[in-house]
Chain A
Amino acid sequence: MNAYRPATNAARRRQRAVRATARGIGWLSIGVGVAELLMPRTLAGAAGLRGREGMVRACGVREIVTGIGILAARRPGPWLWARVAGDALDFATVGTRAGRRGNRSLALAAIAGAAMLDAGCASAIDRIERRGKPPLRNYSDRRGLPLPPNAMRGAALKDFEMPPDMATPALLAPWPPTAAIL
C-alpha cells in the first residue's frame, strides 16, 4: 500500500472539468486551423500580416495537427505544451512582423489569452497524469518502527521527560486536561 489514493469526488469533478477544457481546446485548435487554411488572406489582414498568407496557412496546419493530437492522444499534456510553444511563436511573429494595417494589439491580446488558457490546462493535465503514475519505488515496508504505528503510539512516553522549556503553558493545554484522559 502506498500514498497513491483514488481521487476524491471533488478532485474527480475537477479532473473531468480539466479534460473537458482540453477537449474544447483541441476542437478550437482544429477550427482555427481550418479557418487559417481556408481564409488566410482575411486572417492575415486582420492581424496586420498582409502578404504572409503562406505563413498563416502553415500555422493552420500546425493548429490542426496539435488539435488532433490533443483529441486523440491518451496523454494530451505534451500536445497542449506544443500549443503553448506555438502561441509563443505566433506572439513573436505578430509582435515583430505585423504592419500598421490591421489590429495588431487585438491579435496579440487574443494570442496571449489563448496561451494562458493552454498553459493552465497543460499544467492541470500534467498534475492529473502525474497522479496516474504509480510511485517509482514502493516504500510501504519502510516503517522504521518494530510494530505497526498504532501499536507504537505513545511508546516513548513511558521513559520520556518533557523538557520544561519546551512544554506547553498550562493555559494552552487541551481541555479537559490531558491527565484526566490518560
Chain B
Amino acid sequence: MKALCWHGKKDVRCDDVPDPRIEDPRDAIVKVTSCAICGSDLHLYDGFMMGMEAGDILGHEFMGEVVEVGSADHRLAVGDRVVVPFTICCGECEQCRRGNFSVCERTNRNKALAEKMFGHATAGLFGYTHLTGGYAGGQAEYVRVPYANVAPVKITNGLTDDQVLFLGDILPTGWQAAVQCDIQPTDTVAIWGAGPVGQFAIRAAVLLGAKQVVVIDNVPERLGMAEAGGATTIDFDHESVIERLNDLTGGKGPEKCIDAVGMEAHATRSLDSLYDRAKQAIMLETDRPHVLREMIYVCRPAGTLSVPGVYGGLIDKLPFGALMNKGLTLRTGQTHVNRWTDDLLRRIEEGQLDPSFVVTHTVALEDGPEMYKTFRDKKDGCIKVVLKP
C-alpha cells in the first residue's frame, strides 16, 4: 500500500509499504478514506520531536471503513464507517475509567522509553514517535487500529468525511482547550495561534459563552477565518500583543488564555524568540516557549492558562514567579478525545457546528509530501490539508 513515511528532517515520502495485518484479537484494519496533516505533524517534519525512525508512517487524523476485525472485537463490524481518535486507549485501566484517555496506562508499547523522557508513560498515539508507542499512522491506504473495540467513533449518518474527520483530534482538542478554561459569561478568552486548533477553540469559546474572544496570529488568511468565527484579531507583526490585550480588557488582562501554538512559536519581533532560536540551534533548548511567557505575563491574576499546543522537551526562562504569584491555573495535556466525541458528533448532527469550514486544501495522498511543505510555510492560504488515499 501507499503511505506517507518520515525519513528525516523535512523529508517525507510517499512510499510503498507492506499492508497492515491483525496482530491482536482486539485489532481492526481500516481502509482510510480521508486523513489530514496536523500542526503537530509539523513538529515531526521539522525534526523537533525525539523518537522518530526512518520509515515511520505518519498521521494521526484519519477515518475510513473497517475492512477486517480481530476475533475479540465485538463492537466493530466489517463495513462500519469510523473516525479513529489519535489517542489509543484500552478503556479498562484506572486512567481510562476516569476519562483521562490520553494518559492510558496500557497502550504505550515503549513504556521504558517514555518513562525515561517523561517520568511516566502516556497513551500510545498513531504515527507519533516511538515515545508514544511507535504505532503506524493513518496517512496511508490502510491502518491497523489497536484496541479497536474502545475508541473508534462509528458514523452512521450521512455526514461527509470533512464534517466528521476532525472528531479524531483537532475538534476535541480545540473544544477541550476551551472547556478546561471553564469559560464564564464575563470572560475574555485570548487564543494564541489561528491554525486549525485555534479556529476550533474560537468556535468552542463562542459556543461556551465567552464575552469576548481574541486571537493572536500574523497570517492574514488565518486572521480572516478567525474573525469569521467571532474573534477580535491581533496581528503580532504590527501590534503589541500585551498592549492590545490590556486595551481590550480595561487594563486587567484576559481571564482565560489558550496556547494553540506549542513548541514552534514564530514571534518575529521579540528578543526572547531570538534567544530561543539561538539556544535551540546549539541544542540547549528543545522548544520555543514565547507564547507561554506572554500568556503568563498578560493573564489576569487568578486566571487560567490552557495549553493544547504540543511541547516535547525542555524550555527556558519561563517566568514561573509570575505564574505562582498571580495564582494562575495551568491546564495542559493531550486531548482525552473520547470524552468529547459523542457530544461533539451530536452537535455536528444538530447543525450547531460544521467543522468542514477549516479545510482549505484537499489533495491525493501522493501529493502529501509537497503539502507538508505548503502547510509548514503557510503558503497558498493553507490552513488545513485533507489527503485522499
Point out the residues of chain A lying under 8 angstroms from B230, CB to CB: 145, 148-150, 152-153
Point out the residues of chain A lying under 8 angstroms from B227, CB to CB: 1-3, 140
Proximity bits, B376-387, A CB within 8 Å = 1, else 0: 000011010000
Knowing A2-B223, A135-B224, say if A173 contacts B184 (CB, 8 Å). yes
Point out the residues of chain A lying under 8 angstroms from B347, CB to CB: 156
Give the contacting residue for A136; candidates B269, B304, B331, B381; CB below 8 A: B381
Closest 6 CB pairs of A and B: A149-B230, A3-B223, A2-B224, A137-B381, A154-B209, A144-B357
Residues of B within 8 A of A (CB): 99, 179-180, 182, 184-187, 199, 203-204, 206-210, 220-230, 233, 235, 237-239, 255, 268-269, 302, 304, 327, 329, 331, 339, 343, 347, 351-358, 360, 380-381, 383
Give the contacting residue for A127; candidates B185, B206, B238, B355; CB below 8 A: B238
Residues of A within 8 A of B (CB): 1-5, 7-8, 11, 123, 127, 130-131, 133-146, 148-150, 152-157, 160, 162-163, 165-168, 172-174, 178, 181-182
State whether B233 touches A3 (Cβ < 8 A): yes
CB distance from B316 to the nearest CB of A (A): 24
Q: Identify 17 new A-B residue pairs, CB closer than 8 A, beyond the known A123-B268, A153-B209, A173-B184.
A: A2-B221, A4-B220, A137-B221, A138-B224, A139-B228, A140-B228, A142-B228, A142-B357, A144-B229, A149-B229, A153-B210, A154-B208, A155-B207, A156-B347, A157-B207, A162-B182, A166-B331
CB distance from A122 to the nearest CB of B (A): 13
State whether B224 touches A140 (Cβ < 8 A): yes
Point out the residues of chain B lying under 8 angstroms from A155, CB to CB: 207, 352
Point out the residues of chain A lying under 8 angstroms from B239, CB to CB: 8, 11
Give the contacting residue for B221; candidates A139, A146, A148, A167; CB below 8 A: A139
Point out the residues of chain A lying under 8 angstroms from B238, CB to CB: 7, 11, 127, 131
State whether A144 touches B224 (Cβ < 8 A): no
Q: Which residue of B lies closest to A149 (CB)?
A: B230
Q: Which residue of A lies closest to B224 (CB)?
A: A2
Point out the residues of chain B lying under 8 angstroms from A142, CB to CB: 225, 228-229, 357-358
**Complex CA–CA separation, A132 to B192 (angstroms):** 23
CB distance from B166 to the nearest CB of A (A): 11
Q: Which residue of A lies closest to B206 (CB)?
A: A149
**Complex CA–CA separation, A155 to B255 (angstroms):** 21
Point out the residues of chain B lying under 8 angstroms from A154, CB to CB: 185, 207-209
Point out the residues of chain A lying under 8 angstroms from B228, CB to CB: 139-144
State whether B220 touches A152 (Cβ < 8 A): no
Point out the residues of chain B lying under 8 angstroms from A134, CB to CB: 220
> Most A CB atoms within 10 A — which of B209, B226, B331, B339?
B209
State whether B203 touches A3 (Cβ < 8 A): no
**Complex CA–CA separation, A86 to B224 (angstroms):** 38
CB distance from A156 to the nearest CB of B (A): 4
Point out the residues of chain B lying under 8 angstroms from A127, CB to CB: 237-238, 268-269
Point out the residues of chain B lying under 8 angstroms from A143, CB to CB: 228-229, 357
State whether B329 touches A178 (Cβ < 8 A): no
State whether B206 touches A135 (Cβ < 8 A): no
Point out the residues of chain B lying under 8 angstroms from A160, CB to CB: 208, 343
Q: Which residue of B lies closest to A167 (CB)?
A: B182
State whether A178 touches B185 (Cβ < 8 A): yes
Knowing A136-B381, A145-B203, A172-B329, say if A4 contacts B185 (CB, 8 Å). no
Contacts A/B (CB < 8 Å), 22 sampled = A3-B226, A3-B227, A4-B224, A123-B268, A131-B238, A136-B220, A137-B360, A138-B224, A140-B228, A141-B228, A144-B199, A144-B353, A152-B207, A156-B204, A156-B352, A166-B180, A166-B331, A172-B302, A172-B329, A174-B186, A174-B255, A178-B185
